[in-house]
Each structure stands twice: as C-alpha cells, then as structure tokens.
C-alpha cells in the first residue's frame, strides 16, 4: 500500500481561530500551507460552530421570545436559525482557506509520526504531511466529571448538543456555575425551561467580588433560575423520561429531576491521539502542550496555539496567539504572551457581565491604595439607555489606584457591557486615568456615558497594608 506524501512549508493541525488566522497570513505570504481538521463540522473552529456564535445567537433569540410564543416551536425555529448561520460560516471558512493557491485543507484525524511528519487518516486514505514548521491548534473539549451514573445517562447533554438539538427540555440541571454553566442556564430559562444550577462552591463566580457575584445571582434568580450553592453532586439516577440528580448540601441529601443534565465543570486540552511523544513534544501535568512565551513547544519548530496550550480559553486569546507565532515566523520575533495586559472577559447572561483587571479583593490583597466607584444601573441618571431598552438591572464598579488615578479593574454588569468593557481595557493599557474617563465626551444615549457619573461615586477607600 502506497501512502501519499505532501510536503509543506507550514503544517497546521486544527481549524481554530489561531490556526486558521496564521494559515491565511502564511499562505498570503507565499508559504505552502496544509491545514488538517478532524471534522467537517468544525471548519473554522469551536467559536463559529459550537461556541461563541451559536450560544450568543441563542442568547439573542431567547431574549426575543414573547409570552405568546409556543416555547417548543419557538426554540426549534431558533435552533434552525443557528444551524443556518453556522453552516454558512463553516462553508465560508473552508472555501476562504482551501481556495487559496498555496493552501490545502485536509479532513481527518492527525497524529505525529516524527517531529516533522504527521499522518492523516488510515488505510488507503492515509496521507502523510511533512513540514519544517508545525502549528498545533486542536482546542479543548468538555470535562466529564466522575459522577456515578452520569456518563451512561441517556439524559446527559453536552454544550455542543444544546446548541444543535431542536427539542427543548422541560427541566435542565446544570452541574457547575461557571461561565458556560450560567450562560446556558440563562439561555434555556428565557426559552421557558425550568433550570437548576448546582454549584459546589459556596457562591457563584468565586473569582469575582462577592457583591458582583451576588448581583449576578439575584438577576438569574429573578429570571426564575434555581441556584443551589455548596452542592456536591453524588449520583445521577435514570428513571425513564427523566433523571434524578442527587446532591449533598450542608450534610443533607437532596435531589432534583431533569430531562437533561449538562456538566459544565470546565474543559481540557485536546491532545489525545496526537501521539505527541513521537514528536518529542512535552505536556504539562494537566495535559496541555507545554510552551514558552513565544508559544514554542519543547521542539522549537512546533508551536501550540489556543486552548491546547493551557492558556485562557477564549477565541480572542487564540487570535493573539496567532499574532505571537506570526511575529516569530514572518516578523521581528519580539512579541510574546507576556505582553498581554488588561484582557477583558464577558459572561453572556442577560444583561451581560464584563470584567477586566483586578477585583477589589485582589487589589486589597496586593496592599494597594484604592478607591472603589460603584453604582447600581437603575440609579445611574447619566445612563438613560438602560431605560430605553428596558433593562435596568445590574451594577457598574471600578477599582481605581488612589495614588495614580489609574483604573486597576472594572466589573460591568449591564446592558452593552460586552462592548463597553473594551473601552475600559484600552484605557487601562494606555494609562488613561479615571478622571479622563469620567470627564470625556460620549454619545447620548449610550452605556459608555455611565462613566461620566459612576466614576465620581466613590463608595470605599482602602489604604495599602490595612
């Protein structure tokens, strides 16, 4: 049996944001690029297929549902709308790259044969690709917690399945109150599902300040989501059309019925089957590919981009990974992952929570002299946009260095927070003071103009070391 061999300048394993961005730039620079993606359903990566795009589209559809809409029919139509968009994105991603004269997309499961060679497929379909430079961008996948009965339950669902199924469950139990878990809880509650979130910690979002986490919990509970904290799930029992999720809280055993059970307890790097040992590529104790600040692996010609390298699991981090690698391959080789500063994050509940920088607790722990400016959205006179769109829930909070007047961090739980946080992050990166933000001119009515008021509402001052 003969094996087809392809020689490339650059081999990319995985069609995620970092990999495809680098592939486009390198192909346009005249490099012979081969990109391997194991699934035809994943051209373009997680974000446009099963992550950011479908979930945020479901956020939009769920928020637009009217009381008079039949929940099941409306949900099914919404999912069909998501399918149509993700299919278009998937085709567009494939055509845009494979259509380049110097780029080829191969579909199949890849594994290393040696440090410069990767095999794709098996048997007569086997193809080997050799390249002096290799980029690994295989992403991450959900972690299935070791809860008795969960793995074999017919009511177990993944986040991927929840973006594709047209059947709206009557009752959804979410195990885990992190970003993914709360987003799906909010989405499905707005579609009409009875949702219960079981969080093992004693409160939601333990990395955020307690007042912000409490405000998030209040909003979700106000929407009808049942939140149980301090809940350790011990078993999933199946009983025909439903499952019983058993959990312990304060030494007592409780249970809740579910038509669907979503484990949302984190994601792990996808490295299984890559045979990284054959390439001499080291991994961390948590299974991520070990990289330096230039994203080089233990083999200097092999780079790891995106979730697979164990960094923050966000599409825009994967994009910045591509910038770091491209600077190595085509630029001056100066850009590193340590250059990143004031990276924002958004939890897409309704309204969204966007954060950047230090929390109040973190700033105090560092012994910094800080001021805290905070105001409830409903009380911000300078922000009528919240009233015009009938969403006045939430809070806006800034942590400010009292000595320099620089913004150390912010938590924006409000309408448009996912956009406004980018302005705050940019200000932080360029040392724009809180006073400058407060006294700037913003369009009206907008959410950004809340800065004119909130930044003058100092509610707490902390002296370093106290």
Task: Write out the DSSP string of 354-414.
Answer: EEEE--HHHHHHTT--EEEEEEEGGG-TT-THHHHTT----EEEEEEETTT-BEEEEEEES
Element (H, E) at 321: helix 315-329
What are the residue numbers of the active site?
Answer: 444
Taking each helix axis as running N to C, give the angle between helix 52-64 and helix 71-98, from 0 to 180 degrees, rounded to the nearest 10.
Answer: 150
Render 57-102 in DSSP notation, one character per residue: HHHHHHHH--TTS-HHHHHHHHHHHHHHHHHHHHHHHHHHHHTSTT
Widest CA span in the chain = 75
Among all chains, which residue has been given the structure tokens 């373009």?
44
Tokens of 412: 């924006």
Whether residue 176 is preceded by a cis peptide bond, meaning omega within 30 degrees of 0, is: no
* Residues ≥6 apart with Cβ < 8 Å to 253: 234, 246, 247
Distances (CA, A) of 34 to 129, 135, 140, 275, 404: 8, 10, 21, 19, 50
Task: Indicate the burial class of 341 (C-beta count within 10 angstroms; 0-12, 13-18, 19 or more).
Answer: exposed
Residue 416, CB-side half-sphere exposure with 13 Å CA sphere: 19
In this structure, are residues 398 and 409 in contact, taking their beta carbons and an 8 Å threshold?
Answer: yes
For 297-308, what is the HEC assignment? CCCCCEEECHHH
370 close to 400: Cβ distance less than 8 angstroms: yes
Name residue 248's beta-bridge partners: 232, 253
Give the whole-angstrom CA distance, residue 373 versus residue 392.
18
Residue linked to tokens 């309408």: 415
User: Under DSSP, is residue 20 helix (H, G, I), strand (E, B) or coil?
Assistant: helix
- Contact, 235 vs 149, CB < 8 A? yes
């Amino acid at each position: 049996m003969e094996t087809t061999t392809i020689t490339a300048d650059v081999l990319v394993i995985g069609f995620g944001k970092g990999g495809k961005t680098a592939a486009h730039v390198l192909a346009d620079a005249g490099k012979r690029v081969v990109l391997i993606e194991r699934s035809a359903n994943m051209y373009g990566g997680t974000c446009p297929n099963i992550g950011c795009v479908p979930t945020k589209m479901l956020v939009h559809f769920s928020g637009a549902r009217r009381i008079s809409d039949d929940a099941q029919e409306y949900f099914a139509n919404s999912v069909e709308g998501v399918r149509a968009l993700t299919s278009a994105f998937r085709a567009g991603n494939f055509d845009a790259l494979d259509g380049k004269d110097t780029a080829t997309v191969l579909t199949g499961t890849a594994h290393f044969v040696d440090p410069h060679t990767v095999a794709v497929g098996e048997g007569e379909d086997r193809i080997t690709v050799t390249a002096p430079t290799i980029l690994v961008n295989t992403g991450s996948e959900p972690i299935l917690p070791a809860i008795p009965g969960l793995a074999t339950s017919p009511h177990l669902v993944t986040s991927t399945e929840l973006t594709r199924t047209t059947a709206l469950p009557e009752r959804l139990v979410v195990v885990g109150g992190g970003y993914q878990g709360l987003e799906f809880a909010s989405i499905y509650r707005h579609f009409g599902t009875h949702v219960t979130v079981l969080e093992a910690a004693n409160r939601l979002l333990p990395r955020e300040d307690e007042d912000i986490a409490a405000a998030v919990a209040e909003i979700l509970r106000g929407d009808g989501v049942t939140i149980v904290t301090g809940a350790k799930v011990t078993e999933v029992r199946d009983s025909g059309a439903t499952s019983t999720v058993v959990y312990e809280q304060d030494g007592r055993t409780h249970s809740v019925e579910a038509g669907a059970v979503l484990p949302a307890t984190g994601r792990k790097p996808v490295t299984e089957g890559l045979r990284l040992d054959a390439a001499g590529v080291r991994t961390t104790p948590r299974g991520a590919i070990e990289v330096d600040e230039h994203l080089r692996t233990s083999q200097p010609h092999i780079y790891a981009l995106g979730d697979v390298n164990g960094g923050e699991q966000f599409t825009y981090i994967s994009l910045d990974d591509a910038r770091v690698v491209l600077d190595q391959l085509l630029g001056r080789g100066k850009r590193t992952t340590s250059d990143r500063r004031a990276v924002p994050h958004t939890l897409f509940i309704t309204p969204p929570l966007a954060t950047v920088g230090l929390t109040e607790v973190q700033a105090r722990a560092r012994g910094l002299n800080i001021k805290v400016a905070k105001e409830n959205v409903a009380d911000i006179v300078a922000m009528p946009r919240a009233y015009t769109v009938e969403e006045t829930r939430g809070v806006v909070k800034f942590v400010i260095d009292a000595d320099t007047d620089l913004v150390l961090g912010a938590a924006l739980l409000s309408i448009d927070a996912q956009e406004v946080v980018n302005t705050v992050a940019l200000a932080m990166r360029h040392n724009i003071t809180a006073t400058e933000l407060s006294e700037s001119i913003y369009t009206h009515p907008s959410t950004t103009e809340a800065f004119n008021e909130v930044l003058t509402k100092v509610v707490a001052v902390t002296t370093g070391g106290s």
